[in-house]
Amino acid sequence: MDSHAAIIEKLNRLRRERGALVLAHSYQPAEVQDVADLVGDSLELSRAAAKNDSARLVLFCGVNFMAETAAILRPDRPVHVPDPNAGCPLANMITPRELADVRREHPGAVVVAYVNTSAEIKAASDICCTSANAAQVVRSVPADREIIFIPDRNLGDWVQQQAGRGDMIIWRGFCPTHNRIMERDVREARAAHPGAPVVVHPECRPEVRALAEEIASTSGMVRFCRESPAREFIIGTEVGMVYRLEKECPGKRFWPATELADCPNMKLTTLEKVLWELQDLAHPVKLDPAVAAAARRPLEKMVEVLGA
Ligand code: SF4
Strand 79-80 to 127-129 pairing: unpaired
Q: Name the band, by pLDDT with cuts 50, 70 and 90, for residue 308.
A: low
Domain boundaries, the chain: 4-86+266-287, 91-174, 181-256
- Backbone angles phi and psi of 149, in degrees to 5: -105, 125
Across-strand partners of 111? Answer: 148
181-256: which CATH architecture?
Answer: 3-Layer(aba) Sandwich (3.40)
Cα(201) to centroid(ligand 1), Å: 12
Evaluate if pTM is beyond 0.85. yes
The answer to whether the 91-174 and 181-256 domains have the same CATH topology is yes
Q: How far apart are CA 255 and CA 231, in angstroms?
A: 11
pLDDT in tens, 88-119: 999 999 999 999 999 999 999 999 999 999 99
Closest residue CA from atom 7 of ligand 1: 175
Cα(90) to centroid(ligand 1), Å: 6
What residue ranges line ligand 1, CB within 6 angstroms? Answer: 27, 63, 88-90, 116, 175-178, 238, 263, 265-266
Closest residue CA from atom 3 of ligand 1: 263
Cα(143) to centroid(ligand 1), Å: 31
> Running DSSP on this structure, what letter comes out for residue 209?
H
Ligand 1 atom with the smallest distance to the CA of 86 is 6
**Average pLDDT value for residue range 27-39:** 97
Residue among 63, 153, 154 whose CB has most ligand 1 atoms within 8 A, to mutate? 63
Whether residue 277 contacts residue 218, with contact meaning beta carbons closer than 8 Å, is answered with: no
What is the pLDDT, as a whole number, of residue 306? Answer: 85
Q: Name the CATH topology of 91-174.
A: Rossmann fold (3.40.50)
Strand 214-215 to 232-236 pairing: unpaired
Q: How far apart are CA 205 and CA 208, in angstroms?
A: 5
pLDDT in tens, 78-94: 999 999 999 999 999 99
Give strand ranges (E) for the chain.
20-25, 38-40, 57-61, 79-80, 110-114, 127-129, 147-150, 169-170, 198-200, 214-215, 232-236, 253-256
Ligand 1 atom with the smallest distance to the CA of 91 is 1
Angle, CA 203 vertex, CA 163 and CA 62 arms, to 5°: 120
Give CATH superfamily name and number for 4-86+266-287: NadA-like (3.40.50.10800)
Whether the predicted pLDDT of 1 surpasses 80: no
Closest residue CA from atom 6 of ligand 1: 88
Q: Name the band, by pLDDT with cuts 50, 70 and 90, for residue 42.
A: confident
